[in-house]
Amino acid sequence: MGNNSQKTALILGVSGQDGTYLAKFLLAKGYRVVGASRDAQMSSFANLKRLEIYDRVELESVSLNDFRSVLQVLKKVQPGEVYNLAGQTSVGLSFDQPVESFESISIGTLNLLEAIRFLDIPIRIYNAGSSECFGNTEGISANEETPFRPRSPYAVAKAAAFWHMANYREAYGLFACSGLLFNHESPLRPERFVTRKIVNAACRIAKGSGEILELGNIEVERDWGWAPEYIEAMWCMLQQENPEDFVIATGETNKLADFVRQAFDAVDLNWHDHVKTRESLLRPTDILTVKADPGKARRKLGWNARYKMKDVARKMVEAEFENIRRVKI
């Protein structure tokens, strides 16, 4: 593909799980990929290095809370597509840092939209929404029409960002859409996320660590998918004729206890012998059951999750064992 026809994508939050997989996906499609983080000089970009694409991504520093910083990076990069994956990513951490969570997610998204409107250039923007916006749907499968009932500072911020996107789409004609992504996991998840915590502990125990894994409520139910697949759905949204929001999920719900069992089964251990629950690990308000209806994505984007929870747990265990082996070499 020649430079004149080469598409440019700006990924905000490129160092995270989704940003890294998205960068790899877009590079494979021939894009010029520019990745942004708060401090590109200080960040290690370990995930980009792990996927061996660090040298192929142009890196810029940007603070989404600073309107001028956002303007400068957009003017410099001149992207055709912007993927906003930045901001605080942990539901649990948001209870400890509610103000920072709201500012980094909601105000950051608003600054980005306003900068695109101000520059008046034809940028298509994707925003990372979250299934957390729905809250507890009482066992009903959430789709794009399901009302929001956020139950954490993180979810409140994500809901506000979602409505910023919808407002700029409707009021100012921006090509702006949000993906309401349900839980999606991979080996690039930080260990503060419970799936990675479970997988890493199972692998250490299988190697003889003798530890006991402590968890909060293992009766919560979630829809777990494979992160590299969800990246494709983000890209598909920006290739449509008209901007729309989409629920992205597998459509299959499982208890956290089932994920634990699958992870320990993958290392030939009985999880009951190595796991206990602790009340101190419970969140102030937690969603018990999460169910998704990704039918619209299947119909309009042609996107369907191939990997379900059982596959995700197995693939994460395999990757962790490979990581342990590589570190020892």
**Domain over 8-184+226-248 is classified CATH 3.40.50.150:** no
For the chain, residues classed under CATH 3.90.25.10 are: 190-222+253-289+308-328
The CATH number assigned to the domain with range 190-222+253-289+308-328 reads 3.90.25.10
Q: Which two tokens stand for residue 285?
A: 């308000």
| Catalytically active residues, by annotation | 130, 132, 154
For the chain, residues classed under CATH 3.40.50.720 are: 8-184+226-248
| pLDDT of the chain, 329 residues: tens digit per residue | 345 689 999 999 999 999 999 999 999 999 999 999 887 777 889 999 999 999 999 999 999 999 999 999 999 999 999 999 997 767 777 787 788 888 889 999 999 999 999 999 999 999 999 999 999 888 899 999 999 999 888 999 999 999 999 999 999 999 999 999 999 999 999 888 899 999 999 999 999 999 999 999 899 999 999 999 999 999 999 999 999 999 999 999 999 999 999 999 999 999 999 999 887 666 555 678 889 999 999 999 999 999 999 999 999 999 998 887 776 65
